[in-house]
Structure 1
Amino acid sequence: MMLALLMGGLGLIVGSFLGLVSLRLPRGEGVMLGRSRCGGCGRPLKPWRMVPVVSWALSRGKCSDCGAVIPVRYPLIELAAGAVGAWAALCFPDPAHALATAVLGWQLLLIAVIDAEHFWLPDALTLPLFLSGLFAAVALDPANVQSGLQWSLVGPLTAPLIGAAVGFGGLWLLAFLYRRVRGRDGLGGGDPFLLGAIGAWVGWAGLPSVLLWASAAGFAVVAAKLVLRRPVTSADRLPFGVFLAVGAWMTWLYGPLGLGALG
C-alpha cells in the first residue's frame, strides 16, 4: 500500500507534465523548454499554481490573474496518471516491475489523449514506447536481474522484437487490404506503428488479446452511443489508438487471454 501511495503521488506529478505535452505537441511547440503559462492572459504560472489537482480545485478551475477558465482536462489527466501509478504498484509489488508498468501506462495515457483529441499518433510517442519496451524486456529479465550490470541482450530482446514486427506487419497488412478492397483508408497511418510498439511490450502472444480488448472497448463506445440515441454511421471516425492503448494496458497487467499471465 505504501508503494501504491508513492507511485500514485508520482503519477500526479507525471500527469501534470503529460497534460502540458498533450497541449504543446500537437501545436508543434517545445515540450521541455519554457514555463507553463495561462492560456488566457499568457502569464507564467507561479509554482504554487502548478500543484497537481490541488491548485485547480483551490482556484475553482479559473486563473487567479485573469479569471480564464482552466479546462478540466488537466486535473483529469493528472488523476488518471495517479491512478495508473497506484494501479501498477497494486498489481506488481516489486518496485522495478511497478515502475516499468507505470511508465507503460503513462505513455499509453498520453497517446490515448492525443489520439482522442486530434486523431493523431505521432512517431514522437510511438517510437519511445517501442524503445522503452525493449529496455523493460532487458531490465526485467530474471537472468539480467541476477547478473547485475552484465546484461544479456540477445535472449530478452527476441520476444519484443518479434512482437513489434508481428504487430506492425499484421496491422499494416490489414490496412493495406482494406484500402484495396474498399478504396479508402480504414486505419490511420500511426496505428500499425502503435501496435508494433505495443508488441515490444507484450510480445507476439499478447497481440491477439490487445486487439480483443481494443475491439471490446470500441464496441462499448458504439453501444453507448446507441443507448444514448446518438447517430452511428459507417463513416464515423473512432480513435483506434485509444482502444489499442486500453488493450495494451489490460494485456500487460493480466496477460494474454487464455494463456495465463505474462512472464
Structure 2
Amino acid sequence: MPVSFLPLFGVLLGLIIGSFLATLVLRWPENRSAIGGRSMCDSCGHQLRAGELIPVVSYVLQSGKCRECGAQIAPDHLAIELSAGLIGGLALFVTPGLEGLVGAIFGWLLLTLAALDVKHHWLPDQLTAILAITGLLASIITEYPALLDRLIGGFAGFALLALIGGIYKRIRQREGLGGGDPKMLGAIGCWLGWQMLPLVLLGASAVGIMVVISWKVRGEAVTARSMLPLGSLMAIAAFPIWLYQSAASALFY
C-alpha cells in the first residue's frame, strides 16, 4: 500500500474498530457480551443487517434511530466511531507503518477507557493492565522511549497518583481519586516513559479547567465535591503527547 494511503487506511480501520468499542462501552458495564451473537438493537432486539452496520454511514442514513422500533441510537456511539477513525488516521499520518498502527492501538485503548470513565466513572483493571502490557511490548517495535524509561514510567505514574490520593484522603477524610486513576497513569507511563508524565498531568489539568469553565457557562453548580473523570482527562492529554513524541523521535532518532 502506498504510504500516502496509510492515513486513509487508519481512518477506515478506526471506524470499524470504533463501532466495536462503542458496543463494548455500552454493554460491558451491564455484564453483556460485546462479541457474542449477532449485533442487535439494544432497545427492541432487532438483529441488524449488514447495511445497518456500516460505521457512521448507517447512523446518518437512519437519522440515528433503529429502523425497526425507531428508538434513538446513543449519540456517543457515533462519537466513539468518529474518534477512533481520527485516532487511526492521525497515528498513521504521523508515523506511517507498523509504529503508527501500534500508536493507534494506544489511542483506541485510551478512547475506550475515557468513554467508560465519562459514562460510568469506571476504569476496569483488565483494560488498564492491557494498556500497560501493550505499552511495554511496544518497545520491541519502537526504539523510543526505551524499555527502562517505560518501566520507570509505569512505576512512577502509579506511585505518584497513589501518593497524592493517600495524602488527600488523610487530610480531607474522603476519597479524592478513584482507585483506577493511579493504575491508568502508570499504564500511560508504560507507553510514554517517565519523562512525559508531568506533561500528561499538566494537559489533563488544562482540559479539566476547560470542562469546569464550560459547566459554569451553562449555569451548572461547581463545588468541591463535583466529580471530574481524571482518567478521561489523562487520556485526552496522552494521545496528542504520543503524536508529538513519535514525530520528534522520527526526526531525531
TM-score tier after normalising by the smaller chain length: over 0.9
Task: Give unmatched runs, 5+ long, in structure 1.
Answer: 143-154
Write out per-residue CA displacement over residues 176-201 of structure 1, whole angstroms, 9 at most, x where no aligned residue.
11111110000000000000100000
Question: Percentage identity across aligned positions?
Answer: 44
Q: Which position in structure 1 is the counterpart of 2:43?
A: 40
After TM superposition, the structure 1 = structure 2 runs for residues 2-81 of structure 1, keeping only pairs within 5 Å, are 2-81=5-84
Q: Which position in structure 2 is the counterpart of 1:145?
A: none
Q: Distance in 2 between matches of 1:63 and 1:223?
A: 35
Q: Distance in 2 between matches of 1:109 and 1:249?
A: 9
Aligned: 1:215 with 2:169: no
1:213 aligns to what SS in structure 2?
helix
Write out per-residue CA displacement over residues 194-248 of structure 1, whole angstroms, 9 at most, x where no aligned residue.
0010000011101001000000000111112223332211110111111010121
Q: Distance in 2 between matches of 1:43 and 1:32?
A: 16
Alignment length, in residue pairs? 247
Q: TM-score w.r.t. structure 1 length?
A: 0.89
Residue 124 of structure 1: CA displacement? 1.8
Q: Which position in structure 1 is the counterpart of 2:143?
A: 141
After TM superposition, the structure 1 = structure 2 runs for residues 110-149 of structure 1, keeping only pairs within 5 Å, are 110-141=112-143
Instruction: Tell me if structure 2 keeps the 8 A contact 1:96–1:140.
Output: no
Residue 85 of structure 1: CA displacement? 0.8
Q: Which position in structure 1 is the counterpart of 2:99?
A: 97
Opposite residue 86 of structure 2, the aligned amino acid is A
Q: Distance in 1 between matches of 2:129 and 2:99?
A: 21
Opposite residue 47 of structure 2, the aligned amino acid is P
Cα-Cα RMSD: 1.8
After TM superposition, the structure 1 = structure 2 runs for residues 172-251 of structure 1, keeping only pairs within 5 Å, are 172-251=162-241
Q: Distance in 1 between matches of 2:193 and 2:111?
A: 20
- Runs ≥4 in structure 1, deviation > 4 angstroms? none
After TM superposition, the structure 1 = structure 2 runs for residues 247-258 of structure 1, keeping only pairs within 5 Å, are 247-255=237-245
Opposite residue 103 of structure 1, the aligned amino acid is I
